[in-house]
Amino acid sequence: MAIRLGLRSKGKSSDTESSKSSGQMTVLEHLTELRRRIFICAVAIVIGATVCFFFTPQIISFLARFYAEAINRKNNTLIFTGPADAFILRLKIATYGGIVVSMPIWLFQIWRFITPGLNPREKRYVIPFILSAILLFTFGGLVAFLTLKPALTFLLGVGGAELTPLLTGESYITLVALMIVAFGVAFEFPVVLVFLLLAKVLNTSQLKKWRRWAIVLITLFAAIITPSQDPYSLLFMAVPMYFFYEASIVIGKLMKR
């Protein structure tokens, strides 16, 4: 009987190992794996936020320069109206910075979580997709900084000389953070298109046929998603997005999709 039990347990363990190696997991194992990945992501974000917290004065000083240049002032001081506003603002900046700094880690954790469900052919595209997503988001953030000064000049001067801007740190930093997120997300457009081409949801013939509609929809999307709602941000976002649309067609041709 002992031999039979040993054989059975050995068979069960081999079945479990084979199921894990083939990417098959139970619901409980999926939840356990998800919890572990979320915990790692949270720790990475907390560590990144802790590091960024000590550099928040330098970050605020750097961002405030765009505000000073937009209103032609030497003094780039932002104000706060509540006793705890300055501390809360530092926490927000640290949190935003922690999410950005830890992006490679939590993207890698997402990849590791979905990898067991992919076949070997699909796994080849995961690392290029993650690297492309990081680079494009970073590029979008840089473009957001390029458009920040003209956007602020338009927004703060559109009211006329009778209105004097006096921004709080929270409202200004929130605007800058939303612009970086908006441009970063918008610049992930080619990653989405290439993924749909690989999944055979779209093909290059359809993308060519929809060019005119793409121009209209991209312009509407840029007008809606830009938090500043100024024409400069719309132009700086819509033009690269259409360029990415054309680049996706070229990539689709190379992949024979």
For the chain, the structural domain boundaries read 26-254
Long-range contacts of the stretch 189-195 (C-beta < 8 A, 24+): 189/241, 189/244, 189/245, 190/132, 190/136, 190/244, 190/245, 190/247, 190/248, 190/251, 191/129, 191/132, 191/133, 191/136, 193/244, 193/245, 193/248, 194/248, 194/251, 194/252, 195/129
Sheet strands (E) in 64-207: none
Q: Which residues contact 229 (CB under 8 A, 6 or more apart)?
A: 223
Per-residue pLDDT of the chain in tens (257 residues, 90 and over written 9): 343 444 344 444 444 444 444 456 677 877 888 899 999 999 999 999 999 999 999 998 888 888 888 877 766 678 888 889 899 999 999 999 999 889 888 888 887 787 666 667 666 777 788 888 889 999 999 999 999 988 888 888 887 777 778 888 889 998 998 899 899 989 989 988 888 888 788 889 999 999 999 999 999 999 898 887 788 889 999 999 999 999 999 988 887 77
Task: Write down the pTM of the prediction.
Answer: 0.78
CB atoms within 10 A of CB 242: 17
State which amino acid sits at residue 88: I
Task: Tell me the per-residue pLDDT of 218-236, one tens digit each, with 9 for 90 and over.
Answer: 999 998 988 877 888 899 9
Task: Tell me the per-residue pLDDT of 85-114, one tens digit each, with 9 for 90 and over.
Answer: 899 999 999 999 999 889 888 888 887 787
Phi and psi at residue 79, to the nearest 5°:
-105, 165
